[in-house]
Structure 1
């Protein structure tokens, strides 16, 4: 399988409040490249969100704003390219909300949610949180809520599922966005 896994961390509940993004690029079922960037959001920071991921306003003070980051990562979000996330409704919502906030055209790509695939393929897991699925599958997740570690874990979950169940089992979960 070839795809890119993404993960965002946010400053607050607003859909345009991304403070970091990471991508894990997969070619032939191997993570071959990684991208991570802090993002300077144009919004306030919630103490709740900061407690989850540990990023403060001062951490992103010199970071690029999203349009600069988008120039680098937009080639991964094109027609017929598969984008994966664990809880894709959240990460895809942040991407869409941030694109709308900056009046950037929304791309069309294929989207797959590893929460959905793990619920189908591993119904007996206690829950289907990223840390639980990764732990049950023996996938390393050193720093949960670090966007890069989370993106790599999501990539490795899909690689595991593809290797053990086949790509055909996963196809019904691919949505066109």
Structure 2
């Protein structure tokens, strides 16, 4: 178990693995792909049980109206939240030792950009794109609303 501080100063405990995979989703504050303001995780065990975890992040930069309207996170929401280096330190080991699933390639690109911004090591786990899987599983959805 890894303990981290949430934005209210309370300990939030990451579940302990191993896990079959971890689904990862990030939100950004602006059109700068490395401006991560939230990371959401879903830990999926070998038995299919799931545990979720979410952490707000101070992106140390401005929020754009478009992004805030999209996900509802603003500069006010992240007051007191940790910065990316702090959150990265608490998540690195668990993310780096499990297969990661993202929807599109945005999340991996955002994590790479944020790591580069702060000079931190990138997550080197295997990343799977769930959009590619959905396209193979449900080809009939192409052009009929897509695979979002």
Q: Does the pair score TM above 0.5?
A: yes
Relative to structure 1, the CA distance from residue 42 to residue 77 in structure 2 (aligned partners, 3 Å threshold; closer, same or farther) is same
Question: Which of these residues, 99, 108, 117, is aligned with residue 101 of structure 1?
Answer: 117
Residue aligning to 2:89: 71
Map of 1:32 onto structure 2: 50
Cα distance between partner residues in 1 of 2:132 and 2:61: 31
- 2:37 is matched with which residue? 19
1:128 paired to 2:147: yes
- The normalised TM-score by structure 1 is 0.68
Equivalent position to 1:62, from 71, 74, 80? 80
- What TM-score, normalized by structure 2, do the two folds share? 0.80
Q: For 1:137-156, list aligned pairs within 5 A.
A: none
Shift in Å at residue 29 of structure 1?
A: 4.7
Over 3 Å counting, the alpha-carbon distance change for 1:30 and 1:121 in structure 2 is same
Higher helix share: 1
**How far apart are residue 71 of structure 1 and its match?**
1.7
Give the aligned partner of residue 100 of structure 2.
83
Q: Which runs of 5+ in 1 are unaligned?
A: 130-177
Q: CA deviation at 1:59?
A: 0.6
Q: Which runs of 5+ in 2 are unaligned?
A: 1-18
| Structure with greater strand share of residues | 2
Structure 1 moving runs of 4+ over 2 Å:
76-79
Alignment: residue pair count: 127
Larger RCO (CA within 8 A; separation ≥ 6)? 1
CA RMSD of aligned residues (A): 1.4
For residue 92 of structure 1, give the secondary structure of its aligned residue in structure 2.
helix
Residue 24 of structure 1 contacts residue 31 of structure 1 at CA under 8 Å; is this kept in 2? no
